[in-house]
Chains A and B, each alone.
Chain A
Amino acid sequence: MIRQINLTNVLPAVFELDRAQFASSEVFLRPLTFERGQRYCINARSGRGKTSLCDFLYMSRRDFAGEILFDEADVRTLSDRQISRIRRRHLAYLPQELELFDELTALENVNLKMKICYDAAEPRPDVVKWFDRLGIADRIDRPCDRLSVGQKQRVALIRALSQPFDFLLLDEPVSHLDEESNRLCAKLIAERAEQLGAAVIFTSVGNPLLLDGPVTSLTL
């Protein structure tokens, strides 16, 4: 279990020569701790480094200054195997580009994720119900290249929720959804996070995930 993610003076390398613009940032160039069980919304306009921050936290990029620790472990020192393990058991991610496999159906995309995240005997969530709750049950067996962007966004969200996690990282998770779909997604996210005792960290450009309850809002 990962209890905390600690950031210390993190800044994308691309902004290294323009540090002054982040003087009032509540995320970059200062100490920040994300704790398990909490909810965080990171607000910023486009181009401020939201997706970069998500990539740093998801360990798919290392071009940043400062330090990111998963509990005591520096992300820069983790091996491929350790990173894969964290992605399967501790850190779920919904990327802005969704990154679904168009060659597979919606359900196959989710099942592929669950296949590597759970042991054979381990109980798995009933994801078919989630498709129903998010209003895309009729798209479950359709190849992803035949889904709309909004439908894909919900499939990608189900895929992220389907795995065990301590932190759920969502990069503009409702950017292609209407308010009703936003609320349906937020409810499902809140239930799943509560079930696992996990933290939810999401980014927003003015269309935030409509989570009920306390959310720590941070400006990038």
Chain B
Amino acid sequence: MLSKLLRHNISKWQLIGYALAATIGLAIVMIAVMFYRDLSAAWANESGDIQLIPPRNMVISKPVSLASTFSGTPSFSPDEVADIAAQPWCNGVAAFRAADFSVWLTVNIGGRGMQTALFFESVPDSLVDIDPQLWHFDPARPEVPIVLSKEYLTLYNFGFASSGRMPLLSESTITRLPLTVVLAGNGRQQVLPARIVGFSSWLNTIAVPESFMDWAHERFGSGVEVEPSRLIVAVSDPADAEIDQFIDHHDYQVAGPDTGGSRAARMLSVVSSVVGVVGLIITSLALFILVLSLYLLVHKNRRIITGLIRIGFTPAQVARPYCLLVGAVNLTATAIAMAAASFARALWLDAVVGDQAACSPVPALLIGLGLMLAVTIYNICVIRHLTRE
């Protein structure tokens, strides 16, 4: 009898409209989250050390212009370094430290000796993600550990080796090669064994430990301090658009593969956010429709609600049938939205993820469930407030 009384004036079409809009909005939110997570995971799997949110260190330099051809490598003044460090997105700045002495590398590949002029740079040890045992220089037992840019190995294999009939080298092969470096400067010369201990996709240089660089500068360096030509900038969010604006404004260059990753990350982040926000807006509009419908319904049924409370029903008892109705509609909308999002995910899953282990859809579904739970709690509060009035 209570339901018979209270279901008077319930508009079936208003409820269907709300349920439809809520389902679409919720499905869009879940699809956006699932797509972001899946693509992010796929990217991380395919590119090895390049994450969707790429390494939070960027290498920046100044472009080499016609003028600098004769004036030397463009470098960063202390003021410019301070300016970069003062940016809100900057978590820290470290300089590449170039070797102030001559370096020659000798290598024996398949019985063929090869010698080449080389350069060394050092960066703070904390930025080189290598076992500290390997990334260490001991003058008592001097062997120079080297981290090589992956691009250099690629250049060798597909450029130099193929045209010069040299053997191709894999990463594991080259780490086993016996290398010798000749250091010269300040009237001195010394031959040291060396070993490649790792490869980096974002450090576009030939890196040696800081401790080696200090030792070598003391012995072979000219003692003249030079300004850094390249900086490593630690950023809080590589996808931050303000970084691009700053780089463009100062005409700096961002080196390494991070740039593409960060742009793509930013694109994906923006697209996912826009889609997610559209979903949230649709869900909010649906919620707005429902709240208006509830106000209208309670207003139309004011006589019945008041009558029920006057014969002894509590406001909570009167609100219960409406709460159950809204709960059932929201539960149905959530279930349909989850099914729709899962179906949509199946469409892109093969294309994006392929044979790799797929990312779990549970967090996205939980977000949808949590969102609808919050909406339902809000609905119930509105209903109870209206009936108490």
Residues of A within 8 A of B (CB): 58, 60, 80-81, 84, 87-88, 93, 95, 99, 101, 103-104, 108, 111-113, 115-117, 159, 163
Which of B8, B309, B388 is in CB contact (< 8 Å) with A103? Answer: B8
Q: Is the CB of A108 within 8 A of B1?
A: yes
B188 interface contact, C-beta 8 A: no
> Nearest chain-B residue to A100 (Cβ)?
B307
With A80-B314, A101-B5, A108-B1 given, name 10 new contacts (CB 8 A). A84-B312, A84-B314, A87-B310, A103-B304, A112-B1, A112-B311, A113-B312, A116-B313, A117-B312, A163-B312
Check if A99 sits within 8 Å of B1, measured CB to CB.
no
A60 with B2: CB separation less than 8 A: no
B4: CB under 8 A from chain A? yes
Please indicate the chain B residues that have their CB under 8 angstroms from the CB of A58 in the complex.
310
Closest 5 CB pairs of A and B: A88-B312, A87-B312, A84-B314, A112-B1, A99-B307
Give the interface residue-count category, chain B.
Answer: 10 to 19
Chain B 285-327 near chain A by CB (<8 Å), digits 1 or 0: 0000000000000000000100101111111110000000000
Give A95 to B306 CA distance when docked, in angstroms: 13
- In the complex, chain A residues whose CB is within 8 Å of the CB of B388: 80
Q: A81–B8 contact, CB under 8 A? A: no
A191 to B130, CA, bound (A): 97
B8 contact set on A, CB distance < 8 A: 103
B interface residue numbers (CB < 8 A to A): 1-2, 4-5, 8, 304, 307, 309-317, 388
What A residues does B5 contact at CB under 8 A? Answer: 101, 103-104, 112
Q: What residues of A have a CB within 8 angstroms of the CB of B317 in the complex?
A: 84, 116
Bound-state Cα–Cα, A115 to B3, Å: 13
**A113: chain B residues within 8 A (beta carbon):** 311-312
Q: Which of chain B's residues has its CB closest to A104's CB?
A: B1
Bound CA–CA A73/B316 (angstroms): 23
18 contacts between A and B (CB under 8 A): A60-B310, A84-B309, A84-B312, A84-B314, A84-B317, A87-B311, A87-B312, A88-B312, A93-B310, A99-B307, A103-B4, A104-B4, A108-B1, A111-B1, A115-B1, A117-B312, A159-B311, A163-B312
Q: Which residue of chain B lies nearest to A95 when distances are taken between CB atoms in the complex? A: B310
**Contact present for A99 and B312 (CB under 8 Å):** no
- Given contacts A103-B4, A103-B8, A115-B1, A81 and B307 within 8 Å (CB-CB): no
CB neighbours (8 Å) of A84 from chain B are 309, 312-314, 317
Query: What CA separation (Å) do A117 and B312 show in the bound complex?
Result: 8
Please judge, given known A-B contacts A101-B5, A101-B304, A103-B5, whether A116 and B310 are in contact too, CB under 8 Å: no
Q: What residue in chain B is nearest A89 (Cβ atoms)?
A: B312
- Given A80-B388, A112-B1, CB of A99 within 8 Å of CB of B314: no
B4 touches A81 (CB 8 A): no
| Shortest Cβ distance from residue A107 to the other chain B in the assembled complex, whole angstroms | 10
Cα distance A116–B313 in the bound complex, in angstroms: 7
The CA of A88 and the CA of B315, in the complex, are separated in Å by 14
Complexed CA–CA distance, A102 and B310 (Å): 15
| CB nearest to B307 among chain A residues | A99
Instruction: State how many angstroms separate the Cβ of B179 from the closest Cβ of chain A.
Output: 85
Q: A81's contact among B2, B304, B314, by CB below 8 Å, is which?
A: B314
Contact partners of A60 in chain B: CB under 8 A? 310
Distance in angstroms from B389 CB to nearest chain A CB is 12
Q: How far is the CA of A99 from the CA of B312 in the complex (A)?
A: 13
Contacts of B309 in A (CB 8 A): 84
Find chain B residues with CB under 8 A from A163 CB: 312
**Residue in contact with A80 in the complex, picked from B2, B304, B307, B315, CB distance below 8 Å:** B315
Shortest Cβ distance from residue B323 to the other chain A in the assembled complex, whole angstroms: 16
Query: Given the complex, which residues of B lie within 8 Å of A99, measured CB to CB?
Result: 307, 310-311
Distance between Cα atoms of A115 and B316 in the complex (Å): 16
Complex CA–CA separation, A67 to B5 (angstroms): 36
A82 nearest in chain B by CB position = B314
B304 to chain A, nearest CB (A): 7
A93 neighbours in B (Cβ, 8 Å)? 310
Expressed in whole angstroms, the Cα–Cα distance for A112 and B3 within the complex equals 11
- For A104, the chain B residues whose CB sits under 8 A away are 1, 4-5
